[in-house]
């Protein structure tokens, strides 16, 4: 049996009731198998066995009183998985699906995501099976306060800095931080995702879209090319897509597609700043459909088609693609059509928008393929920058944050590329990203000895 | 008020208003001193005028001919208005110069206690032309259009489906002032609402008898047409609908509203219900200053929703200034009004209203009794545990009996694994599309939390992928003991379409009778899912009062 299988089978004995966690471990460790051959010291120090067990798992009860005066009880979790390279960092999720296995799965993945940003952040995750759906503001506040009543003793600016996740947005972060201040009486940076007025960072909404473009620019640079003058297909029309187009415009590219759940528009003249303003107004304020764009600017509209289906059916030529809509939007046939129509660079703003077969098509055809875990790390990166600003007691300007984001994306790219080279598959950012994230943590753990 | 005499002359809606008129005047308004409560001024054109119109113009044949709606409407437009109504209508056109709603008030509506909402049509007219002759002509056109709608296809189908004889129908018409304010060429109420004192789709902790309220900006057409509106329980006004996230709230709340176009209509078309109506976007209302009591503002930078419109950002119609801040005690008034009308009519009621806020005026538009079947829907323990029960549950949304369903789509229990819920969603869509094409509604049986975005919790389908299901069972088994959605992911569609929704949590004593179901002949099978067609329809019975239901096979 392989090393990975050994680790997994040992884990299965102990954690059999956590299928999501076991699957994540299997996927990550399988991709890391080559590192074991190059680093026998990792095997000797049992890094692979150690990295799959959290530093500690904190489970607690969260009693609170609903609006009708009834006592409600939820379960709270904080899995502090690994702090080898920095304070624990990872989101809090409030959702009825939350259980120990899911939080462990998310916390485990967070170790490598955070490490890849090249910022000093360890991996953690937490949350509760509380369902914010249908709860009043007061109920959400009372729950957040009850949650923080226990969590506060386990977090700190140098220990553990949670952020938001599903069910935990600006409102919840505000309630959590407000209560922390009340009971600890110290304005510590113990949460990120805070409001601008009390320690939040600029550029947070823009970060993922901007980051995906910066990552693409770095990939292109390896072939002596640049973004300027190239055509781009962008899918979606939400936050990530909007800021992707904005950054592409700033860098001199021409975006020719956008989409929503009803269909896709193709504007071969390019979605310039004025048209993008129309899209921002349409999607953010009026909450209308992209078909209105087609009516106003007299461009083709393809109802019920994704951007990638339109590329396939219309043989639309694009140099770069930025999937920014949702999971599994690109399948094998669409990936083949993209390659056929001249797409040489794919940078994923969404999480896992390309299925496994599509990814293989990109790799087989030497497309510069930036997987989501690297290309959309801009969001996590800005969380890290919020911590830095809080620690310095300073607030950077938009330009400063944007500049630092660009540097981080450059570093992420460089470390993924370097790892891919070191492991004999230069330019394969999928392998590179997995290995680069792991190596930094593993080497730190090795340095600390058996602790 | 009425042209003609006798209660029967008035038709259902007008009689409803008459019967609660006294109740409204008796309603203790001391708790709501700042709100002016009234029934907007109205007059009723009695059923005898309708009969005279049909007879004297020889319209009986075409009315019952089954011809297209446009043909019937055109024939009615050509008819002459009975002379006995002309004087009153002319006088009304001379004195009333604000927008009017011309509403149907059918006799069957009252006699049968059946809801005819959305069956007969209402026409809104701006009634603002300077020339009284033009106003008069437009009013007459609208009345004839509403009369014609008695015989439109939807009304014929409805009568057929409910066993009513359309030949017995006599239509009175209510001419009623529209509550609203003018903003340039736009006239609309700031708030429209439909309140029901009984709710077959209560979301915990609300109970059926707590009732339910739908609120919308602009004309009530948004609500009547099943558009996006704010749904809440008057017992828990601060409890928002069960949206997953702020993004979902922004996506699912109302963004467009109906208003009366006070300018030139885009086309002359007296046989179009929306001839003088127009849809506008929320941003127009923001410019009109009509969101003050209705909206919250989303700040994308702070990722939070703030009550009111005091700051810049994205507006969302949450009605929080009214329901949370209680700027104006609208919810308290609605509760009081529902209780009074219920006491007066002796049964659960449905009330339509409209409001303006400067100054606060609450216009009571309609009241109708709600049909809440009692006796025969009561489910006994024996029925629930009957050997022929395919499924039973004590957590059911909806109400009534359905004996028409012969198609069942289900996920094969032994193949269900949370790892594979995404391909299952695609398979369900394929079954749904095929059954929709065949025009067959079906029973859908799935495992886990239906419609979740988290595929580890259940099948992540959108409503469009299962929209043909008229009954849904969310079941559990050993490998999927998750908390069920209980319809919350699609609550708006489920309510509007009257879908019956069964939740069968793992802790419940009931299970789907898979032994029986797996033996039924398969009409279509994909990998994880099957479609079976039964020879005899299922007997589906839901007791909405107690939230229990059972499905029996024969």
* Structural Rg of chain B based on CA atoms: 25
Question: What confidence score (pLDDT) does residue A304 get?
Answer: 84
Which residues on chain B are in Cβ contact (under 8 Å) with A66? 205
Q: Do A164 and B303 touch (CB under 8 A)?
A: yes
Selecting from A97, A205, A288 the residue whose C-beta is nearest the C-beta of B301 gives A205
Question: What confidence score (pLDDT) does residue B307 get?
Answer: 94
Give the CB-side neighbour count of residue B445, counting CA atoms within 13 A.
27
Q: How near does any CA of chain A get to the CA of B308, in Å?
A: 15
Burial of B33 (0-12, 13-18, 19+ CB in 10 A): exposed
Tally of CB atoms within 10 A around A224: 6
Closest by CA to B379, choosing from B391, B361, B363, B370, is B391
Which residues on chain A are in Cβ contact (under 8 Å) with B282? 285-287
- pLDDT of residue B161 exceeding 70, the answer is no
Q: Do A67 and B240 touch (CB under 8 A)?
A: no
Q: B440 — phi, psi (to 5°)?
A: -115, 130
For the segment A265-293, the average pLDDT, to the nearest whole number, is: 94
* Active-site position among A113, A125, A275, A440: A125
Task: Place B113 in a pLDDT band, splitting at 50, 70 and 90.
Answer: low
Selecting from A133, A138, A285 the residue whose C-beta is nearest the C-beta of B283 gives A285
Question: What confidence score (pLDDT) does residue B325 get?
Answer: 93
What percent of chain B is predicted at pLDDT more than 70? 90
Query: Please, what is the average pLDDT of chain A?
Result: 93
Residue-wise pLDDT tens digits, A10-41: 998 888 888 888 888 888 888 888 899 899 99
With a CB cutoff of 8 Å and minimum separation 6, the contacts of A137 are: A171, B238, B324
Q: How near does any CA of chain A get to the CA of B346, in Å?
A: 29
> Across A341-345, A369-373, B274-278, which has the greatest mean pLDDT?
A341-345
Selecting from A70, A170, A285 the residue whose C-beta is nearest the C-beta of B302 gives A170
Q: Do A97 and B246 touch (CB under 8 A)?
A: no
Nearest CA in chain A to B242: A134
For the segment B144-153, the average pLDDT, to the nearest whole number, is: 89
- pLDDT of residue B41 exceeding 80, the answer is yes
Task: Place A326 in a pLDDT band, splitting at 50, 70 and 90.
Answer: confident
Q: Do A67 and B456 touch (CB under 8 A)?
A: no
Instruction: Verify cis geometry, omega within 30 degrees of 0, for the bond prior to B359.
Output: yes
Cβ pairs bridging A and B (under 8 Å)? 93
Q: Do B245 and A169 touch (CB under 8 A)?
A: yes
Distances (CA, A) of B192 to A260, B146, B361, B366, B433: 30, 22, 12, 12, 35
B1-178 to CATH, choices 3.40.50.300, 3.30.70.270, 3.30.1490.20, 3.90.76.10: 3.30.1490.20
Distances (CA, A) of A350 to A241, A329, A372, B125: 9, 10, 6, 49
Which residues on chain B are in Cβ contact (under 8 Å) with A97? 449, 452, 454, 456-457, 482-483
Residue corresponding to tokens 């789907």: B512
Q: How near does any CA of chain A get to the CA of B33, in Å?
A: 28
Domains of chain A, by residue range, sit at 54-198, 205-375
Residue to substitute from B302, B452, B485, B491, interface A, most A β-carbons within 10 A: B302
From edge to edge, which strands make up the β-sheet containing B400-402? B389-393, B548-552, B539-543, B400-402
Task: Place B375 in a pLDDT band, splitting at 50, 70 and 90.
Answer: low
Which residues on chain B are in Cβ contact (under 8 Å) with A195? 301-302, 304
Selecting from A95, A167, A284 the residue whose C-beta is nearest the C-beta of B314 gives A284
Q: Using CA atoms, how far apart are residues B195 and B192, in angstroms rounded to an integer?
A: 10
For the segment B481-494, the average pLDDT, to the nearest whole number, is: 66
With a CB cutoff of 8 Å and minimum separation 6, the contacts of B501 are: B396, B397, B398, B471, B472, B474, B486, B487, B494
Question: What confidence score (pLDDT) does residue A79 get?
Answer: 98
Residue-wise pLDDT tens digits, B91-102: 999 999 999 999
Question: What confidence score (pLDDT) does residue A26 get?
Answer: 86
Kindly provide the b/e burial profile for residues B423-450, where b requires at least 16 CB atoms within 10 angstroms of the residue's own CB: ebbebbbebbebbeeeebbbbbbbbbbb
Q: Do A170 and B303 touch (CB under 8 A)?
A: yes
- Tell me whether 0.85 is exceeded by the ipTM: no
Q: Do B301 and A134 touch (CB under 8 A)?
A: no
Q: How near does any CA of chain A get to the CA of B241, in Å?
A: 5
- pLDDT of residue A448 exceeding 60, the answer is yes
Nearest CA in chain B to A202: B301
Tally of CB atoms within 10 A around A355: 18
For the segment A204-223, the average pLDDT, to the nearest whole number, is: 96
- pLDDT of residue B376 exceeding 70, the answer is no
Q: Do B203 and A134 touch (CB under 8 A)?
A: yes
With a CB cutoff of 8 Å and minimum separation 6, the contacts of A109 are: A24, A28, A123
- pLDDT of residue B356 exceeding 60, the answer is yes
Which residues on chain B are in Cβ contact (under 8 Å) with A171? 303-305
Domains of chain B, by residue range, sit at 1-178, 180-372, 375-552
Q: Do B418 and A134 touch (CB under 8 A)?
A: no
Fold match, A54-198 / A205-375: yes
Which residues on chain B are in Cβ contact (under 8 Å) with A70? 205
Fold match, B1-178 / B180-372: no
Selecting from A67, A134, A171 the residue whose C-beta is nearest the C-beta of B242 gives A134
What percent of chain A is predicted at pLDDT more than 70? 100
> Is there a catalytic annotation at residue A182?
no
Q: How near does any CA of chain A get to the CA of B321, in Å?
A: 13
Q: How near does any CA of chain A get to the CA of B98, in Å?
A: 30
Question: What confidence score (pLDDT) does residue A245 get?
Answer: 98
Using a CB–CB cut-off of 8 Å, the residues of B that contact A are 203, 205, 236, 238-246, 250-251, 255, 281-283, 299-305, 314-315, 324, 418-419, 422, 449, 452, 454, 456-457, 482-483, 488
Q: Using CA atoms, how far apart are residues B467 and B474, in angstroms rounded to an integer?
A: 15
Question: What confidence score (pLDDT) does residue A253 get?
Answer: 97
Q: How near does any CA of chain B get to the CA of A61, in Å?
A: 19
Question: What confidence score (pLDDT) does residue A336 get?
Answer: 97
Question: What confidence score (pLDDT) does residue B492 get?
Answer: 62
Which residues on chain A are in Cβ contact (under 8 Å) with B283? 285-286
> Which of these ranges, A353-357, B162-166, B514-518, has the smallest mean pLDDT?
B162-166
> Across A20-24, A265-269, B514-518, which has the greatest mean pLDDT?
A265-269
Task: Place B320 in a pLDDT band, splitting at 50, 70 and 90.
Answer: very high
CATH topology of domain B180-372: D-amino Acid Aminotransferase; Chain A, domain 1 (3.30.470)
Question: What confidence score (pLDDT) does residue B128 get?
Answer: 92
Nearest CA in chain A to B491: A134
**pTM given for the model:** 0.82
Question: What confidence score (pLDDT) does residue B398 get?
Answer: 85
Query: Please, what is the average pLDDT of chain B?
Result: 86
Which residues on chain A are in Cβ contact (under 8 Å) with B419? 19, 23
- pLDDT of residue B256 exceeding 60, the answer is yes
Using a CB–CB cut-off of 8 Å, the residues of A that contact B are 19-20, 23, 66-68, 70, 95-97, 102, 131, 133-138, 164, 166-167, 169-171, 173-174, 193, 195-197, 200, 204-205, 239, 284-288, 328
Structure tokens at A146: 């009850």
Question: What confidence score (pLDDT) does residue B115 get?
Answer: 56
What percent of chain A is predicted at pLDDT more than 90? 76
* Residue bearing the bigger pLDDT, A134 or B538: B538
Tally of CB atoms within 10 A around A391: 12
Distances (CA, A) of A83 to A89, A90, B60, B382, B456: 9, 11, 85, 59, 28
> Which of these ranges, A289-293, B305-309, B456-460, B533-537, has the smallest mean pLDDT?
B456-460
Question: What confidence score (pLDDT) does residue A1 get?
Answer: 61
Instruction: Verify cis geometry, omega within 30 degrees of 0, for the bond prior to B547.
Output: no
For the segment A306-315, the average pLDDT, to the nearest whole number, is: 96
> Which of these ranges, A208-222, B173-187, B503-517, has the smallest mean pLDDT?
B503-517
Q: Using CA atoms, how far apart are residues A408 and A378, in angstroms rounded to an integer?
A: 8
CATH topology of domain A205-375: Rossmann fold (3.40.50)
Q: Do A171 and B303 touch (CB under 8 A)?
A: yes
Residue-wise pLDDT tens digits, A420-443: 999 988 889 999 999 999 999 999
Contact indicator for A373, A350 with CB cutoff of 8 Å: no
For the segment B38-48, the average pLDDT, to the nearest whole number, is: 90
- pLDDT of residue B1 exceeding 70, the answer is no
Task: Place B499 in a pLDDT band, splitting at 50, 70 and 90.
Answer: confident
Question: What confidence score (pLDDT) does residue A133 get?
Answer: 82
Q: Using CA atoms, how far apart are residues B221 and B525, in angstroms rounded to an integer?
A: 42
CATH topology of domain A54-198: Rossmann fold (3.40.50)
Tally of CB atoms within 10 A around B212: 23
With a CB cutoff of 8 Å and minimum separation 6, the contacts of B437 are: none
Q: How near does any CA of chain B get to the CA of A205, in Å?
A: 7
């Amino acid at each position: 049996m392989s090393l990975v299988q050994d680790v997994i089978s040992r884990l299965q004995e102990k954690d059999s009731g956590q299928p999501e966690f076991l699957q994540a471990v299997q996927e990550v460790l399988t991709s890391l198998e080559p590192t074991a051959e190059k680093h026998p010291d990792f095997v000797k120090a049992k890094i692979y066995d150690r990295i799959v067990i959290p530093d500690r798992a904190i489970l607690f009860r969260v009693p609170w009183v609903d609006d009708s005066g009834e006592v409600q009880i939820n379960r709270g979790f904080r899995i502090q998985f690994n702090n080898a390279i920095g304070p624990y960092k990872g989101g809090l999720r409030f959702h009825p699906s939350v259980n120990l296995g899911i939080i462990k799965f998310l916390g485990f993945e967070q170790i490598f995501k955070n490490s890849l940003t090249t910022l000093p952040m360890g991996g953690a995750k937490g949350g509760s099976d509380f369902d914010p759906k249908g709860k009043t503001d007061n109920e959400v506040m009372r729950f957040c306060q009850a949650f923080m009543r226990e969590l506060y003793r386990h977090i700190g600016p140098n220990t553990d800095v949670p952020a938001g996740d599903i069910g935990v947005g600006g409102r919840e972060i505000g309630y959590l931080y407000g209560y922390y201040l009340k009971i600890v009486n110290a304005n510590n940076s113990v949460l990120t995702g805070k409001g601008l007025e009390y320690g939040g960072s600029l550029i947070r909404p823009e970060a993922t879209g901007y980051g995906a473009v910066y990552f693409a620019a770095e990939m292109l640079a390896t072939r002596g090319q640049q973004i300027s003058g190239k055509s781009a297909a962008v899918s979606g029309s939400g936050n990530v897509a909007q800021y992707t187009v904005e950054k592409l415009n700033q860098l001199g590219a021409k975006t020719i597609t956008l989409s929503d759940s009803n269909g896709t528009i193709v504007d071969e003249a390019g979605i310039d700043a004025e048209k993008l303003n129309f899209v921002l107004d349409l999607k953010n304020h009026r909450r209308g459909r992209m078909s209105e764009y087609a009516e106003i600017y007299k461009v083709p509209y393809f109802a019920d088609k994704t951007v990638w289906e339109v590329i396939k059916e219309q043989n639309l030529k694009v140099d770069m693609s930025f999937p920014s809509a949702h999971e599994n939007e690109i399948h094998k046939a669409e990936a083949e059509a993209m390659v056929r129509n001249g797409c040489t660079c794919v940078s994923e703003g969404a999480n896992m928008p390309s299925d496994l077969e599509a990814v293989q098509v990109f790799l087989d055809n030497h497309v510069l393929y930036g997987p989501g875990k690297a290309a959309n790390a801009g969001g996590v990166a800005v969380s890290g920058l919020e911590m830095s600003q809080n620690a310095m007691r300073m607030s950077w300007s938009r330009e400063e944050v944007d500049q630092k984001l660009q540097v981080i994306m450059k570093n992420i790219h460089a470390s993924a590329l370097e790892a891919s080279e070191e492991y004999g598959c230069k330019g394969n950012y999928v392998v590179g990203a997995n290995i680069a994230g792991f190596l930094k943590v593993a080497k730190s753990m090795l340095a600390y000895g058996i602790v | 008020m009425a042209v003609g005499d006798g209660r029967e002359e008035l038709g259902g809606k007008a009689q409803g208003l008459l019967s609660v008129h006294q109740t409204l005047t008796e309603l203790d308004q001391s708790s709501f001193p700042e709100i002016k409560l009234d029934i907007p001024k109205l007059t009723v054109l009695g059923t005898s005028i309708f009969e005279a119109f049909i007879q004297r113009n020889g319209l009986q044949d075409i009315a019952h001919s089954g011809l297209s709606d446009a043909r019937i409407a055109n024939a009615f437009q050509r008819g002459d208005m009975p002379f006995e109504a002309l004087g009153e209508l002319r006088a009304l056109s001379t004195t009333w110069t604000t927008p009017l709603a011309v509403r149907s008030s059918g006799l069957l509506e009252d006699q049968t206690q059946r809801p005819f909402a959305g069956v007969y049509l209402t026409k809104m007219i701006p009634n603002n032309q300077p020339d009284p002759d033009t106003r008069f002509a437009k009013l007459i056109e609208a009345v004839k259009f509403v009369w014609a709608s008695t015989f439109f296809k939807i009304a014929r189908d409805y009568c057929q489906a409910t066993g009513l004889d359309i030949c017995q129908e006599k239509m009175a018409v209510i001419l009623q002032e529209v509550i609203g304010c003018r903003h340039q060429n736009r006239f609309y109420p700031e708030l429209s609402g439909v309140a029901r004192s009984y709710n077959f789709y209560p979301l915990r902790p609300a109970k059926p008898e707590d009732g339910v309220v739908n609120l919308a900006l602009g004309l009530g057409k948004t609500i009547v047409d099943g558009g996006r509106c704010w749904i809440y329980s008057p017992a828990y006004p601060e409890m928002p609908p069960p949206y997953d996230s702020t993004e979902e709230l922004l996506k699912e709340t109302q963004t467009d509203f109906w208003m009366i176009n006070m300018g030139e209509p885009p086309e002359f078309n007296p046989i179009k219900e929306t001839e003088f109506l127009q849809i506008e976007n929320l941003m127009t209302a923001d410019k009109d200053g009509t969101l003050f009591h209705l909206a919250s503002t989303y700040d994308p930078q702070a990722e939070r929703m703030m009550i009111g419109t005091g700051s810049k950002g994205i507006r969302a119609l949450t009605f929080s200034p009214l329901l949370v801040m209680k700027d104006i005690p609208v919810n308290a008034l609605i509760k009081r009004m529902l209780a009074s009308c219920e006491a007066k009519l002796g049964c659960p009621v449905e009330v339509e209203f409209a409001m303006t806020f400067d100054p606060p005026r609450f216009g009571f538009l309609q009241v109708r009794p709600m049909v809440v079947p009692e006796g025969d829907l009561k489910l006994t323990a024996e029925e629930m545990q009957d050997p022929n029960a395919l499924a039973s549950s004590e957590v059911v949304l909806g109400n009534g009996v359905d004996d028409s369903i012969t198609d069942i789509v289900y996920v094969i229990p032994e193949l269900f694994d949370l790892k594979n819920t995404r391909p299952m969603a695609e398979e369900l869509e394929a079954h749904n599309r095929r059954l929709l094409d065949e025009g067959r509604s079906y029973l859908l049986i799935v495992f886990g939390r239906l419609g979740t975005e988290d595929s580890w919790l259940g099948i992540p389908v959108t409503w469009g992928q299962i929209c043909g299901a008229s009954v849904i069972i969310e079941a559990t088994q050993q490998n999927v003991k998750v908390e069920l959605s209980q319809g919350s992911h699609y609550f708006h569609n489920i309510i509007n379409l009257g879908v019956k929704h069964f939740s069968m949590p793992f802790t419940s004593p009931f299970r789907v009778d898979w032994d029986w179901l797996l033996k039924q002949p398969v009409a279509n099978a994909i990998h994880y899912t099957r479609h079976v067609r039964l020879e005899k329809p299922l007997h589906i019975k839901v007791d909405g009062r107690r939230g229990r239901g059972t499905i029996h096979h024969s």
